[in-house]
Chains A and B, each alone.
Chain A
């Protein structure tokens, strides 16, 4: 079955760029929208944004100035970059499959999440 797995550094310094990858296995990345969602410690879930297989994107307005997403269909992988991070960006980051393919989708498949800590 289709599985998602996040990967990337678990520690990022303040003001630097957080970079994560999500690998899709057991299925093609060429359908669906693919989202990033995060959960700071002790807080709720926050949708960061999505990317399609063709590279079109939609971001949460609260983060749009710092977010970049890309997709590599040859690797069945999509990526998140969040620039100028601070301690407030410390969170568990999830990748998720989004359905239907609209800005108001829900998430029918998730990765297990990866904790990223912002600290010097």
Chain B
């Protein structure tokens, strides 16, 4: 299975900050990378698929980039509703696998 490693595992930031989360795969995954936002007690939400395609309805402050085995999710200006846990997922080779999560907290 492809191993997905996210960094950092947790992050403190303030409203208005620019934040970047990194996801590294154990092999190249051909831009087949999705990002999710998860708040406690809620359904996870798809933000980005195919590394850089923004899901319908997701604010443009979210963006995804990367290639090969390294990918990033950037939030250009943090809003109060963005504090959550973020997961990456490779959709390149079955079984699809997820990163361990990055918890984004209010500073």
Contact = CB atoms under 8 A, between A and B. Distances in A.
Nearest to B92: A104
B24 interface: no
A36 interface: no
A108 B89 CA distance: 12
A110 B44 contact: yes
Q: How large is the interface on A (under 10, 10 to 19, 20 to 34, 35 or more residues)?
A: 20 to 34
Given A107-B44, A108-B46, A110-B44, A45 B94 contact: no
Contacts, number: 57
Given A44-B101, A112-B43, A106 B91 contact: yes
Contact of B44 (A43, A61, A94): A94
A45 B93 CA distance: 16
Contacts of A113: 43
Contact of B100 (A44, A60, A104, A106): A44
Interface residues of B, number: 24
Contacts of B14: none
B96 A47 contact: yes
Contact of A104 (B36, B41, B94, B98): B94
B89 A44 contact: no
Given A44-B100, A44-B101, A103 B94 contact: yes
Contacts of A4: 43
Contacts of B87: 44-45
Nearest to A43: B100
A21 interface: no
A46 interface: yes
Given A94-B44, A108-B46, A110-B43, A44 B98 contact: yes
Contacts of B20: none
Interface in B20-71: 32, 34, 36, 41-46, 49, 55
7 contacts: A44-B87, A44-B100, A47-B96, A61-B95, A103-B96, A104-B91, A106-B34
Given A104-B92, A110-B45, 17 more contacts: A4-B43, A44-B98, A45-B87, A45-B89, A62-B95, A104-B91, A106-B34, A107-B34, A107-B44, A107-B46, A108-B49, A108-B55, A109-B43, A109-B46, A110-B44, A111-B43, A112-B43
